[in-house]
Structure formats: C-alpha cells, structure tokens
Structure 1
Amino acid sequence: MTTFVPSQNSAIAVTNALLTTSPPHVSLDEALCVMRSHFGGAQEIKALSGERDRNFMVRSDAGRCLTLKFINHAESTAEIAMQVAVLKHFAEHHFEREVPVHIPSSLTSQDWLDIKLSDGAVRVRAYSYLDGSPGSQLKAEPEVWRDIGRATAQLTCAMQPFTHVGAHRPFLWDVTQLPLLKPMLSVIEQPALHDAVQRFMQRFEQQIQPLIQTLPQQVIHNDLSPSNMLSCAEGRRVVGVLDFGDMVYAPRIAELAVAASYQMSRGENPLAVLDAVMAGYGEILELTEQERTAVVDLVMARLVQRIVITSWRAAQFPANSTYILRSRSEAEALFKQLMTFWEPSRTGAEQR
C-alpha cells in the first residue's frame, strides 16, 4: 500500500494531529483508580472501542453507568471545552432524543482532570453512559430513514443556538474543507477510483465549495453514523445521539448529508433512501432550494472523506484497522454508483 506521510509543515500535520496520534495507553486498573479517586466507587469496568480516545464503561457503587474518557493527547483545550459545553447546552435546551449528561469530578467539580499515569500525563472527563441498541440495528425501511431525517433536523434545531470557538477549526472531517485531502490521494491504489475521486475533488473546489459557503451555517454534530446513534429495541426509531467530538461550524445541511451518506447503501435505490431521509428532515425544518441542490454534492464529499481518511489512518494504526475501515468498502461502492449519474449531470449543467 502507498502511504501518505504528511510533512511537519503541512496543513494536515499542523491542524489534524488529532487524527494521527495514538489513543493514550491506560490500563483497566488505572482507569478504575481514577474512577474511585474522582468520580466515586466502581462495581464494574470494561473497555470500549474508539478511534482517538481510550474509553471505559464504569458502573458506580450507586448503580449509575458512566463513560470515562481518557482524551487523545493531541486534542486541544478548546476542543475539550467545546465537547463539555455542548453537553451542558443540551441540559438546558430541549432535544427529543437522548444525549449523554456531563459529569464533573465529584472531588473537585472540575469538568476534566489532568492525571499522571504510568505512561505519562493524560486528561480525563466523564459523562453518562447511554444504554441501548447500536444504531446499526436500525431497520433498512423508509419509515426508519424518515425518522433518521427527523432526528437530524431536531438535532440541528437543538444545536442552532450553540456557539463555541472550538468549532471554527481546520478539520479533515469537515466536508467544506474537502480540498485538504488532495495531498493524501496516493492512498487510493485503484487507478479508476483514484481518477474519479480526483475529478470530483476538482469540481468540488471549483463549483461546489463557493456555493455551500452561502448556505445557512451553524455548529453541527458532523458524524451521525450508525456508530453514533442508539436505536430502540425494535430498530424502528433513533433514541439517542452520541460522540460530539467531530463538531464543526459548517452549512447546517451538511448534517443531513452526512447522516444520509451512511444509510444510502442500505437500500436498493440510494436516491430513494436519500429522499426518505430528506422527507423526514423536511417535517421539522424546511429545506431551501439551494440546500436541496447541495445535498448530493455533500453526500459525495463525505464518501470521499470516508475512502481517503480511513485508508490513511488504517495504514498508520494497523492494530486498529478493522475498526477504522469498518465502512470503507461500503463508501467506495456507493461513491462509484453515485458517480455514474452525478458526473454526467454536472457536465450537463456546465454546458447549459
């Protein structure tokens, strides 16, 4: 595999160290000690999966379940503060689905702690653990896709008043910053796919990026994948939203495009899935004509991100490659399928 290694002075290395730094090394015993010292006694502890941080589920002596997050060393103070602030925001603003509740230290009342462990200093924070079925259990049905659209719009409404300086950051997972990935395209080994992605990125930079900058903007969750949603037991409704670590200030319609991009490969007709998600969204928030025009472009942009970034990160962290690459093949197949009509439609628009 051809591996892209960013130089120390590149924008990718400077602004996205978070995606290239391994999670902190924390043992179960160390996590248990931190829990008992700062958040109360513990009856049970287990490690959770994660790409950037080291996470544990802990059941306290009082029976409360919480997530103990040992934060990636590259995450800035502004980014940590933003993730704490948004959970506090939800405590005061209505949202129809569940989100975690921020839990400060019971010893010091601090929002996060600086802890010294055997592998060095690390920051840690805690929030309630939401129990439920994973979003991957949501059924591939039109009414479920509409509910995902409704949940996305409700989340957009709930987050609309939220602002934070940490959201204004260069970030590889921000679809509006897709051109940042151009130096990384060497990770795509298939020539035909490489050329198709390159053509898309060129048109994105020339035609799409200027348009989306004019759309309504706000802080968005930016990663409504099945991994970050909880399903009811029957698989017919989104009951919770997790992990606000990818928040950015971006066009609000990008939230819908990202959510839809993870669902569109689950139906025989990807565009019918997109229509269902958009229909549910439209029950809560009216889409402007410009937003409707941009949705497919932003879906395609997220698919390119999933192809390029996951390939790059899997090469850097082979021990975690199965988790990192869990949706790459799906994204690749959907991108190829959508390109068959997207490219001719864009070419036709240019000629008119």
Structure 2
Amino acid sequence: MSGKLSKPNLSHPQVSALVHRLYGWTPAIVRPLPSYDDQNFYVAPVDGGEFILKVMNSTDSENTALLEVQTHAMSFLCHNGLPTQTAMPTTTGQLMSLEELDCGLGSQKYLVRLLTYLSGITISKVPASTQLLYEVGKTAARMDQILQEMDHPHLHVLERDKFIWSLSSIPLLEPYLFVMDGDPIQEVVRAVLQQYKTHIVPQRSAFRKCINHGDFNDLNVLVEAEESLGYRISGILDFGDMNSGFYVHELAIAIMYMMIEHPEPVEVGGPVLAGWESLIPLNKPEKDALYLLVLCRVCQSLILARHTVLKHPENEKYLMITAKAGVRILRQLWELGREEVERMWFQSAARFDGK
C-alpha cells in the first residue's frame, strides 16, 4: 500500500523499441491491455506469433527473486499440463530483464518479460454453467497440488509477511477502512474484519499449508468454446499475488470471484466447492472457515480497490470492476448468514459426487 509504487506508462514507440532491442523482433501490432499496477501489451511480431509484454511497476520490479519464482511457477505448471504462460528468452537468454526507462516521471527501473499468448476470453464474459464452475474449482485445486511439488532456490520469498492481498493479512486492512466512509456497507466490512480475528485466527493452525496463486479471479481465467462441454478452461493468468498460504484460501478466492458476473452469486459456491473437493476434500476447520473467508476476500477487494482509486483515479473503471458487484454480493451473503449459505453450498456440492 506504499505510495512509492510507480505504474509504468510506456508509449507504443517505446514498446516497439524495447521488443526489438531485447528479442530481436519488429512488432506489427502493439495493443495495450487492462492492468492493475503494471502495464501489459499484446504484441504481434512481423514474422508471426502472439505475445504479451508485461512491464512490472517500479516497486515490484525491485523484488527480482520473487519474480523469478513466479516465472518459474508458470513454467512448472505448464510442464505439468496446466494452461499457463511461459516467458520467452531474450537474445541473451534471460527470461526477464530489468530496464531503465523514462515514462514521464524520470528514469526508473522496470522489470520486463515477454510471455506466450494464451487464446480464449475471460470467464467473466461467458455464462458460467455448473459444470464450468466445477472445472474452475477442480483446476484451482490441481494448480495448488502441482505447486506443492515445485522446488526453487528462492522459494522462501513466497513467505510474504504483511502482503496486503493475502487472506492472512485481513487485520492489516483496518487502517484503510476510511475509504468506506459514508457507505452503509462499511459496518458490515468492519464486522467481517472483527469476525476474522475471533473466528479465523484461532483455527488457522488446522488449515493445510500450500503455495497459493492468490488471485484466481474471473479476469485471470480464460476459456474457449468446446462443443461437448460448452466451455473449457484455456488459460490461467497473472501469478503476481503468489504467496505461501493455505488450500482453503485459494478455494475462497475462487468462489468469491466466480460470483462477480453470475446472476445468482450464492449458487456459485456449491459447484466450485465440489470441483475443489474432488481433489482436495476440506477438513472440518477449513469447512467452518470457508464462508467467512469468502466474505473477507470481498472486503479486501472493496477496500483495496477504493484505496488504489485514490492514488490512480485515471484507472477507476478497471479498478472498480469487482468492487461494484462486491457490495451487492457482500450484503446478500451477510444477510443470508453463515448457516444458510453453508447449507446451500455443501448440499449443492454433495450432489456432484462421482463426477
């Protein structure tokens, strides 16, 4: 939440020159893509192929060890059968390059990677059938299972103490509650944060640890049409929030974000949970925490989006995509209450047995 973060703002000529210098290619097409803290471009070289150029913000660019692990994780998942991007080597064989660039704020260092392009559209743009939601849960679980097998000399950097987007960091949101001032939903958010301390923290020792993607959201999951199933998952994007966490965190995050565009948000939980439990059945403390962890992720998203808008008002439309639906979803889940939501989710999930 530091004010030092500098989001890159490269021009098209700068991007073309960068791609040519680092990779030896001349871009025929350069097109900006939405982003939160970084800058992303679709790049199609003259000689063919499609890629995504990712320019990290100045703050994250300082943590090269973390970015090495994230880049390695993408490759590791790809080699184990999941549809993830991989980094292209520069002409000197590097998978990422720290570049000194001037985006109008003076010369700063930004870490640059050219990633393979994955076809498909975001899952936010298609009707989410129960079968597709089941596949979302199963894919998220499979991803975490594979990440547990990964080794890397810098794996320790995923112990991201006080990482604001981790579900272990919910108490760190309290100083930022002021961004909700004047919104009636603030009292619900405050109550959720308090319940995290009284109900989740004492149970955490029983949660099973793993490496989390940390942002398995409806804009980071790509799908393609498939005749028999309707849609299949064709891509998992953005590993920037990877952290050492817990299996139940990944599940809660996936459930929450699959609600955003769904006409009946509460009904999402059952099929996602069923897909997850087809590979990783929850233990009792994890089951007991799931409802509240989903609420916590909604609150996290609301607070951090509004705080970021204060710093980057020009990016408000993208930053508030999730937050606008989040208020409605939070109110609905809160008013239904834990007992009723859990009953709906776990009864619905049970009907998927044997899939």
Structure 1 gaps, min length 5:
1-11, 347-352
Misfit runs of 4+, over 4 Å: 265-269, 343-346
SS in 1 for 2:278: helix
2:73 to 72, 86, 93: 86
Q: Output the CA distance in 2 between the equivalents of 1:50 and 1:29.
A: 19
Residue 241 in 1 paired to residue 241 in 2?
A: no
Query: Cα distance, 1:127 vs. partner?
Result: 1.3
Match of 1:134 in 2: 122
Which of 44, 47, 58 is 1:62 aligned to? 47
Question: Which has the larger displacement, 113-122 or 322-331?
Answer: 113-122
Local SS of the residue matching 2:186: helix
Return the match for 1:153 from 130, 134, 141.
141
Distance 2:68 2:291 in 1: 33
Contact 1:156–1:220 under 8 Å retained in 2: yes
User: Contact 1:149/1:277 (CA < 8 Å) preserved in 2?
Assistant: yes
* 1:257, distance to aligned residue in structure 2 (A): 0.8
Distance in 2 between the 1:129 and 1:269 partners? 32
Give the equivalent residue in structure 2 for 1:45: 30
1:245-269 CA distances to partner (integer Å, 9 max, x unpaired)? 0111111111111011012355565
C-alpha displacement at 1:270, in angstroms? Answer: 3.8
> Displacement, 1:279?
0.9
1:300 aligns with 2:295: yes
Match of 1:9 in 2: none
Report the alpha carbon displacement of residue 345 of structure 1 after superposing the two structures with TM: 8.2
| Gap change, CA 1:129 and 1:186, over 3 Å in 2 | same
Q: Which stretch has the larger CA shift, 281-290 or 305-314?
A: 281-290
1:196-216: per-residue Cα shift (whole Å, max 9, x none)?
211211121122122124311
Equivalences, count: 327
Structure 1 residues 63 and 313: alpha-carbon distance in aligned structure 2, compared to 1, 3 A threshold: same
Structure 2 regions of 5+ residues with no counterpart?
342-355
Partner of 2:220: 228
Of stretches 296-305 and 149-158 in structure 1, the one that deviates more from structure 2 is 149-158
SS in 2 for 1:175: coil
Aligned match of 2:7: 23
Find the residue that maps to 2:74 and give its secondary structure.
helix
Q: Deviations over 1:193-235 (max 9, x none)?
A: 2122112111211221221243111111111111101011355
Partner Cα distance (1:147, 1:345) in 2: 24
The verdict on how the C-alpha distance between 1:280 and 1:30 changes in structure 2, with shifts beyond 3 A counting, is: same
1:118 equivalent in alignment to 2:105: no
Native 8 Å contact 1:23 1:52 kept in 2: yes
Query: Structure 1 length as normaliser, TM-score?
Result: 0.87
Q: How does 1:1-352 map to 2 (within 5 A)?
A: 12-13=1-2, 21-41=5-25, 42-75=27-60, 76-92=63-79, 94-95=80-81, 97-105=82-90, 107-119=91-103, 120=107, 121-162=109-150, 164-169=155-160, 170-190=162-182, 192-233=184-225, 236-267=231-262, 269-342=264-337
C-alpha distance after superposition, 1:107-149 (max 9, x if no partner): 2112221223334232211110112122212323212211111
TM-score scaled to structure 2, two decimals?
A: 0.86
For residues 232 and 78 of structure 2, the distance between their equivalents in structure 1, rounded to whole angstroms, comes to 22
CA drift at 1:344: 7.9
